[in-house]
Amino acid sequence: MRKIIFVDNDRKVIQRLKKQLYPMRFEWEMEFVRSGKDALKIMKNSSVDAVVSDLHLPEMDGVKFFDTVMELYPGTVRIVHSDNSDKALSMESVKCTHQFLLKQSNAETIKYTIERTCKLQDLLKNKKLIDTISGIRNLPSLPKLYDLITREMRSPSPSIIKVGNLISQDVSLSAKILQLVNSAYYSLPRKIIDPRQATIYLGTEIVKAIVLTNHVFSSFSDEAELLGFNIAGMWRHSLMVSVLAAEIARAELAESSEIEEALIAGMLHDIGKLILLKVPDKYKEVVSFVDYTGSDFVDAEYAVVKTSHAELGAYLLGLWGIPDSIVEIVAFHHKPSTLIENVFATMSSSSGNGKDKTTPTGGILESRSTVKFIKGLTALASVHAADALTMEKDCALDTTKFSYVDMLYLKTLGLSERLPKWVECYKKVTQQRDCYV
């Protein structure tokens, strides 16, 4: 049973939360307090899975409270519950919180947000994963260039021109960015040869993803060469999945932020494969297991290492402070149903109003209150499908056979009928081969 603390100085808000979340009393142990200090007293004496707090608190404001929780109890999920009236305070809280809930959120939204975020944290606290990471002596640090770009974008008057100037100082990175922006995917009327101009076209979030990818690939080049790992092939695959994921999200009429998320997560989805190179004995065991049994690489990872590159990559990105939405996609891109099955089952069992219609697998299919949740999974669905179809290759031409697609996930979300459309996206993107050479 999860333990959740809700913090708000407004007595009426506390009473409303108690009433809203009363059906969850069999799933969660809940505490409701009116100050950060009261919450910290509870946390000192017992393990807490999540804290949900307003930013306007007495004695200690919400940002200071979340900062303290992050420092003392880093494994605890931190969720803002605010009316978003103070933009400056909300922005300040981004660095120390996982999610943001508006005060007018209904019970389903609150339940879903907490369960989904806790699910990701549970995954990243897996003992085998931590043991593997702990055995690696020299994980790459967050690239300095990424830090400089992020600082510029957080400044009072951010300049895309300055970001472009930073990019232009790195020859390898400039080449990657020019390669992407001049691909058929962007269909520009003329070629761009200036990295600064390319940065403007791509946007800073995509540029930051390329910076991260390029940095990690170069950090692991020595290990890759020693182990015969095709790092150039992985780059091509990552870029293919990135572009295809964005194309699928666009076909689903996703919002621009979700399309961008799919593009970025697609670029970073396999980053954990490179981390495995830092444990060469384990990597060799995985390869031998694949050669001997003919099993899938992911299955071999679980058999040998007891975790996979998906979790390893998510862990690294989490250490770097990459947004949870991206970390989540990387963590669950092979088997997304493991993310939604418990979350939807919890929501279904706790709704108690008889309005939700559930699928045979326990997932909510037609509840009006969950439509936005399903829509919010578009980026994850897009990256999963893009990666699966890319691995299928010629099999993707047969719309009745998808070896790598998590059909349980797509059926739960009511998206399985969209697969033929996504195959068309695959065919379109594979015709743009100049992106990936």
Strands (E), 282-361: none
Task: Give dist(CA 78, CA 65) in Å, integer.
Answer: 10
- Within 8 A by CB and 6+ apart from 132, the residues are 279, 282, 305, 307, 312
Q: Phi and psi (nearest 5°) for 204?
A: -65, -35
**Are residues 95 and 226 located together in one domain of the fold?**
no
pLDDT score recorded for residue 146: 73
Q: How do residues 34-48 score in pLDDT, each as one tens digit?
A: 999 999 999 999 999
Nearest to 376 by CA among 329, 420, 308: 329
Q: How confident is the model at residue 85 (pLDDT cuts 50, 70, 90)?
A: low
| Residue 89: pLDDT over 80 | no
pLDDT score recorded for residue 385: 94
Q: 122, 157 in Cβ contact below 8 A?
A: no
Q: Is 58 helix (H, G, I), strand (E, B) or coil?
A: coil
**Are residues 101 and 127 located together in one domain of the fold?**
no
| Residue 147: pLDDT over 50 | yes
- Quote the domain boundaries for residue 245: 108-140+220-437
Q: For residue 92, tell me if it sits in a domain.
A: yes
Tell me the average pLDDT across 364-375. Answer: 44
pLDDT score recorded for residue 400: 56
**Are residues 277 and 371 located together in one domain of the fold?**
yes
Task: Give dist(CA 326, CA 93) in Å, integer.
Answer: 18
Range with the poorest average pLDDT among 208-222, 357-371, 413-427? 357-371
> Mutual orientation of helices 378-392 and 231-251 as an angle, nearest 10°?
130
Task: Give dist(CA 217, CA 232) in Å, integer.
Answer: 9
Q: Phi and psi (nearest 5°) for 28?
A: -125, 145
**At which of 88, 105, 122 does a domain end?**
105
pLDDT score recorded for residue 99: 78
Q: 62, 54 in Cβ contact below 8 A?
A: yes
**Are residues 40 and 116 located together in one domain of the fold?**
no
Burial state string for 420-435 with b = 16 or more CB within 10 A and e = fewer than 16: eebbebbeebbebeeb
Q: Phi and psi (nearest 5°) for 4?
A: -125, 135
Nearest to 198 by CA among 242, 155, 167, 159: 167
pLDDT score recorded for residue 140: 64
**Are residues 112 and 23 located together in one domain of the fold?**
no
Task: Give dist(CA 166, CA 171) in Å, integer.
Answer: 11
Task: Give dist(CA 395, CA 100) in Å, integer.
Answer: 41
Q: For residue 188, tell me if it sits in a domain.
A: no
Task: Give dist(CA 263, CA 426) in Å, integer.
Answer: 14
Q: For residue 169, tell me if it sits in a domain.
A: no
Q: Which helix H or strand E contains 46, and what residues bound it?
A: none
**At which of 78, 105, 132 does a domain end?**
105
Q: How do residues 46-62 score in pLDDT, each as one tens digit?
A: 999 999 999 999 889 99
| Residue 168: pLDDT over 70 | yes
- Within 8 A by CB and 6+ apart from 435, the residues are 179, 180, 183, 184, 185, 239, 240, 243, 429
**Are residues 100 and 114 located together in one domain of the fold?**
no
Q: For residue 158, tell me if it sits in a domain.
A: no
**Are residues 99 and 243 located together in one domain of the fold?**
no
What proportion of the chain, given as a percentage, has pLDDT over 90? 24
pLDDT score recorded for residue 358: 41
Q: How confident is the model at residue 372 (pLDDT cuts 50, 70, 90)?
A: very low
What proportion of the chain, given as a percentage, has pLDDT over 70? 80
| Residue 225: pLDDT over 90 | no
| Residue 393: pLDDT over 80 | no
pLDDT score recorded for residue 137: 56
Q: How do residues 266-314 score in pLDDT, each as one tens digit?
A: 988 998 888 888 888 889 999 999 999 999 899 999 999 888 999 988 8
- When mean pLDDT is compared over 18-32, 137-151, 339-353, 385-399, the highest value belongs to 18-32
Beta bridge pairs of residue 81: 101
Tell me the average pLDDT across 9-38. Answer: 94
> Mutual orientation of helices 324-332 and 256-268 as an angle, nearest 10°?
50
Q: For residue 124, tell me if it sits in a domain.
A: yes
Strands 99-102 and 77-82: parallel
**Are residues 114 and 46 located together in one domain of the fold?**
no
* CATH value at residue 312: 1.10.3210
**Number of C-beta neighbours around residue 288 at 10 A:** 12
**At which of 44, 79, 105 does a domain end?**
105
- What is the separation, in whole angstroms, between the first and last Cα of the chain? 50
Task: Give dist(CA 30, CA 107) in Å, integer.
Answer: 14
Task: Give dist(CA 207, CA 174) in Å, integer.
Answer: 10
Beta bridge pairs of residue 78: 51
pLDDT score recorded for residue 224: 86
**Are residues 119 and 100 located together in one domain of the fold?**
no
| Residue 355: pLDDT over 70 | no
* CATH value at residue 54: 3.40.50.2300
Q: For residue 168, tell me if it sits in a domain.
A: no
**Are residues 101 and 228 located together in one domain of the fold?**
no
Comparing 431 with 240, which gets the higher pLDDT?
240
Structural domain total, the chain = 2
Q: For residue 289, tell me if it sits in a domain.
A: yes
**Are residues 225 and 350 located together in one domain of the fold?**
yes
| Residue 397: pLDDT over 60 | no
**Are residues 377 and 257 located together in one domain of the fold?**
yes
Burial class (CB in 10 A: 0-12, 13-18, 19+), 186: middle
Q: How confident is the model at residue 22 (pLDDT cuts 50, 70, 90)?
A: very high
The owner of tokens 């979030």 is 205
| Residue 3: pLDDT over 80 | yes
Per-residue DSSP letters for 16-38? HHHHHTGGGGGTEEEEEESSHHH
DSSP character at residue 141: P
pLDDT score recorded for residue 248: 93
Beta bridge pairs of residue 31: 5
Task: Give dist(CA 349, CA 362) in Å, integer.
Answer: 9
